[in-house]
A and B are shown apart, each in its own frame.
Chain A
Amino acid sequence: MKNIRWSIPLAIFVILVAFLWVGLGRDPREVPSPLIGKAAPSFRLAKLHGAGETLANSDLRGKVWLLNVWASWCVSCRQEHPLLIELAKSNIVPVYGLDYKDDPTAGRAWLTQNGDPYTASVVDRDGRVGIDYGVYGVPETFVIDKVGVVRYKQIGPITPEALKEKILPLVRELQQ
């Protein structure tokens, strides 16, 4: 009887601490995307380079690709940029850019200055495609598989850990 009296509050306390502890380690800004496991929203947009050319997500059927949402006004894009350049050099997976709510001239200038890791970038001037993809914090990166299904979403800059432990293993798995 006496044991129960003490063990119940103790158990409740331990459970509470466990929940709070897990809560501390989570980033509230990372809202899980409902797009994972669903077909990537379709788009056809003008390319940033190349006059009059467009690119649609359906053009990329049959290969695994990354969609990186970036902008010249985006400060934390600078943080992940060297990683993207490195990734582009490694030729493991093509990276396509979505220049989000940006002036194309500024976007092109930014890529000239910082290096262009993208196989191609498309311009989403009014941010509508961004909304379709649930973009709310640039940079964001999507891993899209051969049949056009979103498999992973990185919110915020890609970190070396995320690239090594999540994105690249997933890409290799999907490429098989």
Chain B
Amino acid sequence: MMRVSITVLLLLAAALAGAAKMDAPAQSASEAMDARLKKLETELRCLVCQNQTLADSNADLAEDLRREVRELAMSGKNDEEIKAYLVARYGDFVLYKPPMKPITWLLWVGPFALLVVGGTVWWIVLRRRSRAAEASAPASSEAQARGRKLLDEAGS
């Protein structure tokens, strides 16, 4: 029974896909719009559940904002204009990718600055250590010769 209903569903889906192919131009235009909206919605934050994108959130407000975004897109606004519309109302916080401006410089540059500082400290410590090792234990040529000999024996 289960298998039969799945087969029927698959056939139905195939038929629908075929039907969709018939009016390809109109369909692909709205598909392109859907894809564009989907992408745009993943770049926008829902303000109610703050760690979800507009696309993921089920909050009432997210639904309204999706409607608003769709209408703006339908009226011919481009992505930047739609984002500007939302930023004017909710602030930069609606953008998952904050814009580069003086107040966000630290946010953008901070991690790289920390990496550079950490790398520099690491390099200095390593250099100091190797210098200290060189200074404290100058291996005598006799000991070096013995070491080499031992290694050779182990190798053969």
Contact = CB atoms under 8 A, between A and B. Distances in A.
Contacts of B65: 131
A35 interface: yes
Contacts of A136: 47-48, 61, 90
A127 B48 contact: no
Contact of A34 (B64, B68, B90): B90
A118 interface: no
B99 to A, nearest CB: 13
Contacts of B50: 28-29
A127 B64 contact: yes
Interface in A126-140: 126-128, 130-137
A10 to B, nearest CB: 15
Nearest to A8: B121
A47 interface: no
A28 B93 CA distance: 11
Contacts of B47: 31, 136-137
Interface SS of chain B: helix
Nearest to A33: B91
A131 B68 contact: yes
B89 A133 contact: yes
Interface string A19-34: 0000000001101111
Interface residues of A, number: 19
A81 interface: no
A35 B88 CA distance: 7
B23 interface: no
Given A101-B60, A127-B64, A34 B89 contact: yes
A137 B89 contact: no
Contacts of A126: 64
A31 B93 contact: yes
Contact of A132 (B87, B89, B91): B89
Interface of A: 28-29, 31-35, 101, 126-128, 130-137
26 contacts: A28-B50, A31-B47, A31-B93, A32-B91, A34-B87, A34-B88, A34-B90, A35-B89, A101-B64, A126-B64, A128-B64, A130-B64, A131-B64, A131-B65, A131-B89, A132-B89, A133-B89, A134-B89, A134-B90, A134-B91, A135-B61, A136-B47, A136-B48, A136-B61, A136-B90, A137-B47
Interface of B: 47-48, 50, 60-61, 64-65, 68, 87-91, 93
In order of increasing CB-CB distance, the 3 nearest A-B pairs are: A136-B47, A134-B89, A34-B91
